[in-house]
Structure 1
Amino acid sequence: MLKLATIAVCLLLCTLPSANAQMVGIQQLSDTAFKTERVISGEFTDFNVDNLGNLYVVNQTGQLKKMSPKGDSLAVFNNVRQYGKIHFIDVSNPLKVLLHFKDFGTIVILDRFLNTRSTIDLRRQQLFQVKSIGQSYDNNIWVYDELESKLKRIGEDGRTIDQSNDFRQLFDSTPSPGFIVDQNKLVYLYDPAKGAYIFDYYGTFKNRIRFLGWTDFTVIGNTILGRDANVLYKYEPGTLNLQQYSIPASMQDARKIKITPTNIYLLREKQLEIFSYR
C-alpha cells in the first residue's frame, strides 16, 4: 500500500513557488525567434512526439501513424473503430505506446511497430471513471480513479499493483487531473483548475504548484513545460526561475501546441509545423 503523507505535512509542503516566479517578466518572442524545421501536410486531429523525435499523428478517420523526425512513415495502427476516438497517446516510452480510449474505458498497448500487445478493459477491473493515464517508471501504467479518488498503478493485465490512500483524506478538494507524467522518480498530476500535484513513487505528497489554466502539460527531466492561450512556460521545481515566452500571434490559432526543450510543434488545419526556438 502506498503511504501518503499526513494532511498537516501536505499543507506544509503546499508551497507556491509559482507565485514568486510569476514576477519574472514575459519574454517577447517574435516570429523570427522560431526557425521552421519541417512542415508535414495532412489533415490531422491529434499528435504526440516521443523523446527520439518520432511523431504519432491521428488522421480524420482515426488512423494512427508513426513518422520519423523527417516525416517518413514508420508504422500504422488502423484498428481504431473498435474502440472509438483516441483520447490520449502516451509515447513517453517509444517501445510501449499507450492509447487511452476514455469513452470506451479501454487502454490499448502497442509495441514500437504499432502492433497490439494487449488491451485493458478498465471497467472489468472496476475502474469506471478514469480520465487520465500515464506510463510508470517500472513499465506499468498509472491511472487516476476519480470514483475512488486514488492514484493506482496497474499492470498490462489491468490488475492493480499498488494504490494510494483516498485523496479525499488528503485534500479539501480533490484534483481531476488531465495529465499524469512519471519523470525522475516523481509522478506529476496536472489539473488545469488546481495546478500540478507532485508525488514520489511511494505515493508521498511532495508539493503542489499552482500553475492554472494550462492546456498542455509535460515534464522533461527536471523541467515542467506548459502553455495557455498566449504564453509558453518553462519551470524547474524548487527554483524561482519561471521562464515565460509570449506566443506570437501567428501561432495562437494552432489547434494544438506541443513543447519540448528544443522544439515547438503546431497542429493546424492542413498541416503539422515543427519549429526550433531559442
Structure 2
Amino acid sequence: MKYIFYIILFLSFSIFAQESFEAKFIKKIDLHADTLISIDNFGTSYYIKDDVFYKKTNTNTISYNNLQLGTLHSANAFNTLKINLFYKDFNTVIILDNRLAEIFKIDFNTLSNYKNVLHVSTGHDNTIWIFNQDLQKLELFDYKSKTTRAQTAPVQSTVIDLKSNYNFCWLLTENYLYTYNYFGSLINKRPNLGYTALIESNDNIILKKENNLFYIKKDNDATIPITTSNLLINQFFVTNETLYIYTDKTLQQYQLKPN
C-alpha cells in the first residue's frame, strides 16, 4: 500500500509540474502612457500620462488633472463609478465618477487622527484600503465618516504593492504575500519568492517576477507559470481571461489558455 501511495503522489506532482498557462497573442494597439491602470470588459483603458489620468474608449478620450496636488502616484479603477487617485506627496486621495468628475477629496493631513499613507486601493461601499506607514498597518477607511472600519496586525517588512476588490485585499511585501478579507482578518500568507508586482482578476492573483508572470487560482496555493514568449513586460493587467501587456508604447492583448 505504501508503494502505491508514493506512485500516486509522484504522478500528482508530475501533473502539477506540467500545468501552465499559454498567452496566445490576439492583437496590439498603440498606447502612449506612463502607467497602465486597467482595461475593462468593454476595452476601455485607464492610464496615467504626465500626471494626467485618462479614460479612453473606442470613440472618446477624457482626462482629469490636478496641478495643485503635483505628481499622481497611483490610481485604481476597479470600481469605475468611484475611481481613486492617490497623490502621495500631498497625502491626498481624489475620488472620481465615471465621467472623471471629482466627487470626494480625502486629505489625510487634516484628519484629527492623522494618517501617513503609503499605498491606496479600492474597497466596498464608501471605503478604500490604505497602508498606514506610521503604524505599519493596513486599514479599511470609510472616507465619508472618516473612520477606520477594520485594520490588520502590523506588517514587519517593506510593502511593495497593494491590490483589492470588494471582498479581499492582497498586500505584497518583501517577505510575504498577505490576503485579507474585508474585516481585516488574515486568511492567507505566502512567502514572497522574488515577486515585484501583482494584480487580481476575479479573486485570482497574477504575480510578476523579473520578466515572468505566475498565476494563482483562488482557493488554491498552486503557482502556475504563464508562457509569454520572452516578451518584455513593463506593466500588465488581466480582465477575465485576457492578459494585457504594456511595453514600448504598445499594448498587446493575449488570451490565457491552460496547457
Length-normalised TM-score, structure 1: 0.76
Q: In the superposition, relative to structure 1, how do residues 245 and 166 fare at CA in structure 2: closer, same or farther (>3 Å)?
A: closer
Q: In the superposition, relative to structure 1, how do residues 127 and 209 fare at CA in structure 2: closer, same or farther (>3 Å)?
A: farther
Indicate the residue corresponding to 1:236 in structure 2. 217
Q: How far does the alpha carbon of each residue in 1:17-65 deviate from its partner, in whole angstroms, 9 at most, with x for none?
A: xxx99x7357485xxx5323340243x1011224434211222x32222
Answer yes or no: is 1:179 the counterpart of 2:167.
no
Shift of 1:180: 3.4
Aligned residue among 89, 107, 112 for 1:103: 89
Indicate the residue corresponding to 1:9 in structure 2. none
Shift of 1:240: 4.7
The residue type equivalent to 1:102 in the other structure is K
Measured in 1, the distance between the counterparts of 2:153 and 2:224 equals 34
Measured in 2, the distance between the counterparts of 1:231 and 1:153 equals 31
The residue type equivalent to 1:39 in the other structure is I
Indicate the residue corresponding to 1:188 in structure 2. 170
Shift of 1:117: 0.9
Shift of 1:211: 3.6
Measured in 1, the distance between the counterparts of 2:146 and 2:93 equals 13
Indicate the residue corresponding to 1:66 in structure 2. 55
Shift of 1:234: 1.1
Indicate the residue corresponding to 1:149 in structure 2. 136
CA contact (8 A) 2:235 2:245 kept: yes
Measured in 1, the distance between the counterparts of 2:102 and 2:86 equals 13
Identical pairs, percent: 19
Question: May I ask how many residue pairs the two structures share in their alignment?
Answer: 242
Higher RCO (C-alpha under 8 Å, 6+ residues apart) = 1
Shift of 1:157: 4.1
Answer yes or no: is 1:219 the counterpart of 2:206.
no
The residue type equivalent to 2:44 in the other structure is N
Aligned residue among 33, 47, 68 for 1:57: 47
What secondary structure is seen at the aligned counterpart in 2 of 1:112?
coil
Measured in 2, the distance between the counterparts of 1:155 and 1:198 equals 20
Aligned residue among 238, 244, 247 for 1:265: 244
Aligned residue among 125, 130, 148 for 1:138: 125
The residue type equivalent to 2:127 in the other structure is N
Q: Any unmatched runs of 5+ in structure 1?
A: 1-19
What secondary structure is seen at the aligned counterpart in 2 of 1:178?
strand
Measured in 2, the distance between the counterparts of 1:149 and 1:241 equals 29
CA contact (8 A) 2:82 2:97 kept: yes
Q: In the superposition, relative to structure 1, how do residues 226 and 259 fare at CA in structure 2: closer, same or farther (>3 Å)?
A: farther
Report the aligned-residue RMSD: 2.7
Indicate the residue corresponding to 1:206 in structure 2. 187
Q: Any unmatched runs of 5+ in structure 2?
A: 1-12
Answer yes or no: is 1:24 the counterpart of 2:28.
no
Quick check: which has more Rg, 1 or 2?
Answer: 2
Indicate the residue corresponding to 2:234 in structure 1. 255
Runs of at least 4 residues of structure 1 off by over 4 A?
Answer: 25-29
Indicate the residue corresponding to 1:39 in structure 2. 29
Q: In the superposition, relative to structure 1, how do residues 222 and 277 fare at CA in structure 2: closer, same or farther (>3 Å)?
A: closer
